[in-house]
């Protein structure tokens, strides 16, 4: 990964600093229900304040499609940010471009914060319109991107604007990129990847990229059923994409050719339905009853994966091993997550995880604080795993 500038490379005292953040937080009845995305940006904000910058925050919220949708205003976020900063004043602008916004920025003292209204109220944001980016650029002297989770989109505030002002990565962006580089860019080997989830069809590019980069590929969740079925193993009433049998076999063949060990569950947990308290049993993966469905990896499979990780130096995790939201089908995910966390705490395994279900699963397993790094970037994390170029990251690298 080519280098990019960080906050440390810029002189920011007295400067108007435009900071692209991700404040697309869940809001119910006008109140934020999870402020983790706000909290993760605080180190960047505090660094900029300590250098005497005028901090101008830009973000999107929802999908207003270029029109003003009152329910998608960032006004509640200004209050949430103020609370996260211990009651510090956060001024809110009712637009994100124009003379009124420029006037508000002009009134800021060094170290003060202004949050702009939803970027996506303007169609030029998602269209990556140079004219809209130029209007944003008029508001600042320096640009900081601290929204890795939006870096897979070539939008005006993530791509075009980078080319109009001195640009650098914020602390969250910097941390994310550094850990991703450690995980797959130049990792310590052996490298394992654990990929779970419901469908192979949604992760074909991901699997295709990983078999050429990792030493061990663990496939779990409903995806594993498709791979078992492709090898002639009956999976009963389990979720299975029969039409992808040839694709699954091709992935296995490519993995073999590239020296990547693929691990599928040797035993599985089956039940007649997915519901709490349903009677379940553990059977060999090749002995699934016709009237049952696979809902988790089995006890032996979880132990085998945990044992494999003991000889690895790096683990990339995306997706659960079973239907972890419903007990007892969370067991395999919990066991492997706790094993990975223990190895991380010992210092023998670097663990990087990401993706919505993944974060939820690791929180459920009680190990979210024990992994080396957990990305909350969602789509951007997945596209990075797939080996795709992220426009927001590329722009920062080219500006370095």
Q: Which residues are known to be catalytic?
A: 37, 199, 356, 379
Q: How far apart are CA 279 and CA 262, in angstroms?
A: 30
Do the strands 261-263 and 216-219 form a parallel or antiparallel pair, or are they unpaired? parallel
Contacts within 8 Å (CB) and 24+ apart, 108-111: 108/16, 108/54, 108/55, 108/56, 109/54, 110/13, 110/14, 110/52, 110/53, 110/54, 111/49, 111/50, 111/52, 111/53, 111/54, 111/55
Q: Measuring CA to CA, how many Å separate 238 from each of 1, 38, 289?
A: 41, 39, 10
Q: How far apart are CA 56 and CA 17, in angstroms?
A: 6
Torsion of CA 138, 140, 142, 147, to 10 degrees: -100
- The DSSP element (H or E) to which 304 belongs, if any, is helix 299-309
- The DSSP element (H or E) to which 49 belongs, if any, is helix 42-50
Q: How far apart are CA 79 and CA 81, in angstroms?
A: 5
- Cross-strand pairs, 268: 283, 297
Contact present, 218 and 305 (Cβ < 8 Å): yes
Contact present, 305 and 336 (Cβ < 8 Å): yes
Is 259 buried (19+), middle (13-18) or exposed (0-12) by CB count in 10 A?
A: exposed
Contact present, 211 and 255 (Cβ < 8 Å): yes
Contact present, 354 and 318 (Cβ < 8 Å): yes
Contact present, 320 and 340 (Cβ < 8 Å): no
Q: How far apart are CA 68 and CA 8, in angstroms?
A: 37
């Amino acid at each position: 990964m080519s280098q990019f500038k960080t906050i440390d490379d810029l002189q920011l005292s007295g400067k108007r600093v435009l900071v692209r953040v991700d404040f697309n937080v869940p809001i119910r009845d006008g109140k934020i229900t999870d402020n983790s995305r706000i909290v993760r940006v605080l180190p960047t904000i505090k660094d900029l304040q300590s250098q005497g910058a005028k901090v101008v925050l830009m973000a999107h919220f929802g999908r207003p499609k270029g029109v003003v949708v009152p329910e998608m205003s960032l006004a509640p976020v200004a209050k949430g940010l103020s609370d996260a900063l211990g009651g510090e004043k956060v001024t809110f602008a009712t637009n994100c471009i124009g003379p009124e916004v420029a006037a508000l920025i002009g009134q800021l003292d060094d170290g003060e914060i202004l949050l702009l209204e939803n970027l996506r109220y303007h169609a030029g944001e998602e269209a990556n319109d140079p004219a809209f980016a130029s209007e944003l650029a008029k508001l600042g002297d320096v640009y900081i991107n601290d929204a890795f989770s939006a870096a897979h989109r070539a939008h005006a505030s993530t791509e075009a604007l980078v080319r109009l002002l001195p640009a650098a990565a914020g602390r969250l962006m910097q941390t994310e990129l550094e850990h991703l580089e450690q995980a797959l860019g130049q990792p310590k080997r052996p490298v394992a990847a654990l990929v779970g989830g419901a469908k192979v069809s949604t992760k074909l590019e991901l699997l295709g990229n990983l078999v050429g980069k990792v030493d061990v590929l663990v496939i779990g969740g409903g995806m594993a059923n498709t791979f078992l079925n492709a090898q002639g193993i009956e999976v009963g009433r389990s979720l299975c994409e029969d039409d992808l049998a040839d694709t699954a076999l091709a992935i296995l063949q490519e993995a073999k050719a590239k020296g990547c060990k693929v691990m599928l569950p040797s035993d599985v947990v089956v039940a007649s339905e997915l519901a709490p308290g349903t009677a379940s049993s553990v059977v060999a993966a090749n002995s699934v009853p016709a009237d049952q469905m696979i809902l988790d990896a089995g006890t032996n499979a979880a132990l085998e994966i945990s044992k494999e990780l003991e000889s690895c130096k790096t683990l990339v995790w995306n997706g659960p091993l079973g239907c972890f939201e419903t007990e007892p089908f969370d067991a395999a995910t919990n066991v492997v997550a706790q094993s990975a966390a223990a190895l991380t705490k010992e210092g023998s395994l670097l663990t990087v995880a990401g993706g919505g279900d993944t974060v939820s699963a690791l929180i459920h397993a009680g190990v979210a604080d024990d992994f080396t790094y957990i990305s909350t970037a969602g789509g951007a994390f997945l596209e990075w795993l797939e080996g795709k170029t992220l426009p927001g990251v590329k722009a920062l690298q080219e500006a370095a």
